[in-house]
Chains A and B, each alone.
Chain A
Amino acid sequence: MISAHLPVLQVALPLLGAVLCAMLHRGNWAWAVALVVSWTMPFIAGSLLLQVVANGPISYALGGWLPPWGIEYRVDVVNAFVLVLVSCVGAVIMPYARLSVASEIAPERQAWFYAMYLLCLCGLLGITITDDAFNAFVFLEISSLSAYVLIALGRDRRALLAAYQYLILGTIGATFYVIGVGLLYTMTGTLNLVDIAGRIDAIESTRPILAALAFLTVGISLKLALFPLHVWLPNAYAYAPSVATAFLAATATKVAIYLLLRFFFSVFGVGFVFDTLPVTTIFLALSIAAMFGASIVAVFQEDVKRMLAYSSVAQIGYITLGIALANQTGLTGGIVHLFNHAIMKSALFLVLGAVFYRIGSVKIQELAGIGYRMPITMGAFVIAGLGIIGTPGTAGFISKWYLALGALEAGDWWIVFLLVGSSVISILYIGRVVEVAWFRPVGETAKAASDPPHSMMIPALVLVAATVYFGIDADLTVGVAAQAAQTLLEGLK
C-alpha cells in the first residue's frame, strides 16, 4: 500500500517536517525531527532506484489526476540516481549539523535553520522527481528561497550581501526558466515533459521553440553556476554556515544540472540540441573556461571555503563538458562526476566546518601546522583533496577517466590534455592548503585545536570513505550512470 506512494512521500515528508521544525522553536527538537526525516529519505530514494532498475520507469499521478492533465511524478534511472545522491548527502550531514549549527547560529534561530534545511531538501527532491515543467519551477523557487535564508544565517555580515546577490541572480534565472516554460506551453499546450517531448518534433524549428530553448538554457545555467554565470556562488558558499555550504555545494547545483539534462536530452532531443544547434561548441568553450579560469582564481584565495567554492565552479565545468560531448561514454563521465563531486566536495566542506568549529576561522594563514593538532580531520582533507585532483584510487579519477574516453570517442583528443592541465592546477590549490596544514610549524591559532567530536568526525569520514570506495569499485556508480546516460540519449519518444 505505502510502497505505491513512495514518490509523493519523497517530497511530502520533508515538507511536513519543515513545518513541524518551524513550530517546535527549540533547536534540539527541530534537529531531531530533521534527523528522522532526512534519514528516511535515502530508504525511499533507494527503493525507488531498485524498482526502476528492475522494472523500468514509475509514473505516479498526483491526487489521482491522470497525466498529462494532472501533475505526474515520474521516476526513471536518471532522476532516481539524483534522488539517491541528494537524500544520502542530506542524511549524512544531519548528525554533523547539531554541534556545528549550535556553534555557528544563535539559539533562537536554530529551529528555523532546520526548517529551511528540510524545505530546501523538499524543493530539490521535488525538482528531481516531477515530470511537470511548471511544478519544477515551483520546487525550484522553494529550494532557492530556503537556500537564500540558509546562506543569510551565516555569522559574517557579508553573508547577508551574498544571500541578496544570490536572490537577485537566482530569481532572474528562475524567471528565465519560467519564460521558457511559458513559450513551450504556448506552442505545445501541455506542461507534462513526456507530452511536450512527443509534440515538439513537428514544430522544433519554429522561433518560439528556439527562444524557449535559449531561455531555459540560460535560466538553468544560472542556477547550476555555469562559468560566466557563476558570480553568485563563491560568496554564497564562503559566508554560509558550514552545514549549509556542505549541503548546497553537494546538491543544489547538481539538481540544476539534472534539470538541464532533462530538457536537453529528454524534451528537446539530442538530434535537435546537439546536431542542429551549436550547443556543443558553446558548452565546450564555457566548460573549458570554467575548468581553467575558476581553478586559477581558486589558487589565489586566502579563505579556504572560498577556494573550494571556486573549485566547485571548475568541477561543474567537468560535468558540463560531459554533457557537451553528448556521447554515451562522455555523458556517463559527466553523470558519474555529478555524483563523485557531490561526495568529495561535501566531505571537504564538512572537514572545513570541523576546523571552523575548533579555531573559528578557515583563513589559510591561520591553518599553519593544524595537521598535527587535528590529524584525522586534515588527513580526511588530504584524501578528499586527492579525489578533487583526480588521483587514481579515488572517485575523481573514475569520472575524469570516462570524460577522457568520451572525448576520444568524439574525436577531440585535445580535450584530454586540457583535463590533465586543469587537474594540475587543482594540485596547486589543494596542495597549498596541505602544505600550510602539514609542513609548517604549529601556529598560534592551531595550538589549542584538536579533532572534533565523533558526531562531526564520522559523517566527514563516511564521505571520505565513499570517495575511496567509489574510486576502487566503481561498478555501482558507473553502472547506474551508464544506464542513465543511455536512457537520456534514447530520449522519451
Chain B
Amino acid sequence: MDFLHEIAAHYNHWITVFLMVSGLYIVVARGNMVKKLVGLSLFQTSVYLLYISPAKILGGTAPIISEQFEVYSNPLPHVLILTAIVVGVATLALGLALVVRINEAYGTIEEDEIFAEDEDE
C-alpha cells in the first residue's frame, strides 16, 4: 500500500517520464521525418513539465510581497520554460523547413527510401 501511495504521490513525474520516453521512442522508431520531429517535440515538451510541476506549491500564490501571503510558487522555472518553448518552436520550425527541402530534393520524406536513393548514386 505504501508503495502505491509513493507512486501516486509523484504522479506528475510519472507523466513526465512517460512523455519523455514515448517521445524518444518515436524519434528512434519512426522512419518518417515529420513523425520523428513530432516525437522530438513531445520529448522536449516533457521537459517543460519536469521544470514546472515541482515549482508549483499547493496553496501557494504568485510571489507577492504581502503579509497575507506566506506560501508562494517559484516563478523562475516558469520563465525558464518560456525560453525553452521558444527554443523548441525554433527547432521544430527549422526541422520542418529542412524536411520541406529534403522532400523537394529527394521526392520523399521516408528515411529508408532516401538512403536507398543515395546509395544508387
A182, B33: Cα distance in complex, Å: 29
Question: Closest Cβ of chain B: how far from A152's Cβ, in Å?
Answer: 6
Given contacts A145-B94, A164-B102, 15 further A-B contacts (CB under 8 A): A134-B80, A138-B87, A145-B91, A160-B98, A161-B102, A164-B33, A164-B95, A164-B99, A168-B27, A171-B91, A172-B40, A175-B44, A178-B47, A178-B84, A179-B47
A158 in the interface (beta carbon within 8 A) = yes
Residues of chain A with a CB closer than 8 A to B40's CB: 168, 171-172
Residues of chain B with a CB closer than 8 A to A183's CB: 50
Residues of chain A with a CB closer than 8 A to B114's CB: 161
- Give per-residue flags for A131-152: 1 if the beta carbon is below 8 A from chain B beta carbons, else 0: 0001001100100010011001
Question: Closest Cβ of chain A: how far from B90's Cβ, in Å?
Answer: 6
Chain A: residues with Cβ within 8 Å of the partner, total of: 25
Pairwise interchain contact B87-A141, C-beta atoms closer than 8 A: yes
Q: Which 8 A-B pairs have the closest CB atoms?
A: A157-B105, A141-B87, A164-B98, A160-B102, A182-B51, A182-B50, A160-B101, A186-B54
Pairwise interchain contact A145-B43, C-beta atoms closer than 8 A: no
A172, B77: Cα distance in complex, Å: 20
A185 in the interface (beta carbon within 8 A) = yes
Residue of B nearest to A189 (CB): B74
Residue of A nearest to B100 (CB): A160
Residue of B nearest to A164 (CB): B98
Pairwise interchain contact A152-B101, C-beta atoms closer than 8 A: yes
**Interface CB pairs A-B, < 8 A, 24:** A134-B80, A141-B90, A145-B94, A152-B98, A152-B101, A157-B102, A157-B106, A160-B98, A160-B101, A160-B102, A164-B98, A167-B91, A167-B95, A168-B36, A168-B95, A171-B95, A172-B43, A179-B47, A179-B50, A182-B47, A182-B51, A183-B50, A185-B77, A186-B54
Residues of chain B with a CB closer than 8 A to A34's CB: none
Residue of B nearest to A149 (CB): B94
Residue of B nearest to A135 (CB): B83
A163 in the interface (beta carbon within 8 A) = yes
Residue of A141, A163, A182, A185 with most partner-chain B CB within 10 A: A182
Question: Closest Cβ of chain B: how far from A144's Cβ, in Å?
Answer: 9
Residue of B nearest to A178 (CB): B47
Q: Which of A134, A148, A185 contacts B98 (CB 8 A)?
A: A148
The interface of chain B, by Cβ under 8 A from chain A, is 20, 24, 27, 33, 36-37, 40, 43-44, 47, 50-51, 54, 77, 80, 83-84, 87, 90-91, 94-95, 98-99, 101-102, 105-106, 114, 118
Known A-B contacts A134-B80, A164-B99, A185-B77; A172 and B91 likewise in contact (beta carbons under 8 Å): no
Pairwise interchain contact B51-A160, C-beta atoms closer than 8 A: no
Question: Closest Cβ of chain B: how far from A223's Cβ, in Å?
Answer: 14
Residue of B nearest to A179 (CB): B47
A145, B90: Cα distance in complex, Å: 8
Contacting residues of chain A (253-282) with chain B, CB-CB under 8 angstroms = none
- Give per-residue flags for A168-198: 1 if the beta carbon is below 8 A from chain B beta carbons, else 0: 1001100100110011011000000000000
Known A-B contacts A138-B87, A141-B90; A167 and B47 likewise in contact (beta carbons under 8 Å): no
Residues of chain A with a CB closer than 8 A to B44's CB: 171, 175
Residue of B nearest to A69 (CB): B76
A161, B99: Cα distance in complex, Å: 9
Residues of chain B with a CB closer than 8 A to A179's CB: 20, 47, 50
A167, B101: Cα distance in complex, Å: 14
Residues of chain A with a CB closer than 8 A to B36's CB: 168
A137, B95: Cα distance in complex, Å: 19
Residues of chain B with a CB closer than 8 A to A148's CB: 94, 98
A152, B84: Cα distance in complex, Å: 24
A375, B33: Cα distance in complex, Å: 45
A426, B43: Cα distance in complex, Å: 39
Residues of chain B with a CB closer than 8 A to A185's CB: 51, 77
Pairwise interchain contact A163-B98, C-beta atoms closer than 8 A: yes
- Give per-residue flags for A376-404: 1 if the beta carbon is below 8 A from chain B beta carbons, else 0: 00000000000000000000000000000
Question: Closest Cβ of chain B: how far from A135's Cβ, in Å?
Answer: 9
Residues of chain A with a CB closer than 8 A to B84's CB: 137, 178
Residues of chain A with a CB closer than 8 A to B50's CB: 179, 182-183
Contacting residues of chain A (89-109) with chain B, CB-CB under 8 angstroms = none
A160, B20: Cα distance in complex, Å: 27
Question: Closest Cβ of chain A: how far from B81's Cβ, in Å?
Answer: 9
A179, B54: Cα distance in complex, Å: 13
A388, B59: Cα distance in complex, Å: 62
Residues of chain B with a CB closer than 8 A to A164's CB: 33, 95, 98-99, 102
Residues of chain A with a CB closer than 8 A to B43's CB: 172, 175
Residue of A157, A164, A185 with most partner-chain B CB within 10 A: A164
